[in-house]
A and B are shown apart, each in its own frame.
Chain A
């Protein structure tokens, strides 16, 4: 009670007038009516989207703090961007304390929903989908928070992104949970970010299930402190359909969880199976780069208490077939390139090292060999769980 009073007071202080609910129904002129509602909204307002299909011709955007956009459900309220003429995404959010919930974005020409510099943002029960299924001309990211502090992605569904379904980039303090990613190139990707918990998600039928990456020549670098746990990461064998030139085009088809050039990552209690290349891959940045501020290696990665099903039966990287034959039909479910530092693996499965000695070294120079993991089971939980401001959790209670 005290907490909700405090929240109410905070809203009153920031809002010039009493919060109101503005309802927008589908139908003629949906573009103008909805965009106008988003522009004229005031802090604390709810913009309520009626059930049905909104046929939109341009990207939408929200730049007012403290606004909630709420639909009638992720299958009831659909923002259809098949006829989109302009803008790089379906919906762009550039303000703080925004809650997006209970609606769907379909067939946007670029990204689905992008939130940039939008702190304390909540995505809840949102569906973003390219309805034709995997296709290289689908938009890159379905859910795309970037350069933001405090990000909550909960109970969303993403389908068909030509890059990543849920992509959190250059952000801090992130939770991605209870969500489903299917038929994307990358199901969930945390990139160049600090502090993320990714848990209780289902990543199936992607090219790669869950990626934790840190890339060079990006304003925010030094990705660290990411926990990936309690996820189901199964059957991620959709052939990579990312446009070349993008880093995810490098993800081998059949990947479960992939960690690339990152500090402090914990991967535990996940259920991984039927990923043709491997369940877990830990590598350095694979391309040449000359960024003096960049660490290309994975440093401080702990893998433990995961449950592994079949994997490695269709390794999709150069030399994979020979390796598969050498291992009698399937390579080990955990693979590292050999360049990482402080990599601790406690799972009771075989581990393959590619025996590389430097980041960027070509796989043709690999010296693959089985390596020993931890001799005893261990508890690698060292990172602090992510907590978000209470108002963000309250928004979805």
Chain B
């Protein structure tokens, strides 16, 4: 019987295109109270390998991505049938209950893409839930790892340098550390100001996933977008890489260092701000940002470190993002 079923499953792939419609995303699994064991339980993808998104699972990209050890990231939005996310100016899209955000992390290894993990954010009736799934070596199945995992990995970054790291899949609590506002889980990435790339917002509106294409007044540029103002790129980089914790309601609220795109008070973004609880993270420097002096700024010191007692962000980085550091160095060097 089991054999018969698996034969059917294999044939099912061949027949599905013509003979019958593929199964839609499993809304009941998204909304259930449990912790689904397998990524395939949700049916976000038509294939077991996590590459072909199902209906209403739409890929998107961010102008300015979070740096995650040079991993390639594949992001998808799912909004249940008959519903829409609401656009709210430049800010975070408001997703209805039943929505999901899916993000796969991978590297090109020996010329082939290899997925390491897929993180899902599920909007349940009692709020958002963040869960990490780790792919097997065969790339056929991703399994829930609430406690996270370290994966030894060797890869080349885009400039060709080789890195040997213990890639960190975050545990469920670490997902929340970044995704928490006032203690509740929330999405971070899909803010309209960071989604303007390639007419993407118009596309999402046309597909009916969002209610309208919002007018974005102050978009976030990509970090490598040389034509964008340096200040916008630097502030965008801090917003995307730091501000999920470093905001007044975030995990780093006690630091008083608030790095959101909207923040206007110089001392709050670190300018001539003394550390609160940095410990040896201070690197013997007095200020988070010493204007004109990147080498004397705690911010640069911590972004350049790989020591867990020093490095920032605390989660999700085991190599230095040289290009990001160079951007912030230039920004600080130009301050008076």
Contact = CB atoms under 8 A, between A and B. Distances in A.
B248 A219 contact: yes
A111 interface: yes
A25 to B, nearest CB: 16
A287 B272 CA distance: 12
B23 interface: no
B173 A109 contact: no
B315 interface: yes
A86 B253 contact: no
B279 A39 contact: no
Contacts of A245: 274-275, 278, 282-287, 298
Contacts of A144: 277
B279 A110 contact: yes
B168 A58 contact: yes
Interface in B292-329: 298, 307-309, 314-315, 318
A31 B334 CA distance: 44
Contacts, number: 140
A219 B254 contact: yes
B310 to A, nearest CB: 8
B171 A88 contact: no
B183 interface: yes
A146 interface: yes
Nearest to A220: B254
A342 interface: no
Nearest to A248: B279
B147 A32 contact: yes
Contact of A219 (B256, B274, B275): B256
B166 A116 contact: no
B146 A39 contact: yes
Contact of A61 (B150, B173, B278, B284): B173
Given A32-B149, A219-B248, A140 B277 contact: yes
Interface string B161-183: 00000101001111011001001
Interface string A200-234: 00000000000000010111100000000000000
A170 interface: yes
A130 to B, nearest CB: 11
Contacts of A35: 146-148, 171
A138 B171 CA distance: 25
B267 A217 contact: yes
A137 B280 contact: yes
Interface in A259-307: 287, 291
Given A94-B173, A137-B309, A85 B150 contact: yes
Contacts of B273: 217
B276 interface: yes
A78 B65 CA distance: 39
A393 interface: no
A111 to B, nearest CB: 7
Contact of B173 (A62, A110, A138): A62
A39 B35 CA distance: 12
A61 B282 contact: no
B251 interface: yes
Most A CB contacts (10 A, CB to CB) among B173, B283, B315 go to: B173
Contacts of B177: 61, 92, 94
Given A31-B147, A39-B172, A243-B284, A86 B308 contact: yes
Interface string A136-175: 1111110010110000000000000011000101100000
A116 B267 contact: no
Nearest to A110: B309
Given A117-B183, A139-B309, A246 B146 contact: no
Nearest to B33: A16
A296 to B, nearest CB: 13
A146 B252 CA distance: 11
Contact of A40 (B146, B277, B280): B146
Nearest to B172: A39
A116 B278 contact: no
Interface of A: 31-33, 35-36, 38-40, 57-59, 61-63, 84-88, 92, 94, 108-111, 116-117, 136-141, 144, 146-147, 162-163, 167, 169-170, 215, 217-220, 243-247, 287, 291
28 contacts: A57-B150, A58-B148, A58-B168, A85-B308, A87-B315, A88-B308, A88-B314, A94-B173, A108-B309, A109-B309, A116-B251, A117-B183, A137-B280, A139-B280, A140-B280, A140-B309, A141-B279, A163-B279, A167-B277, A217-B273, A218-B254, A218-B256, A219-B254, A219-B256, A243-B280, A245-B274, A245-B284, A245-B286
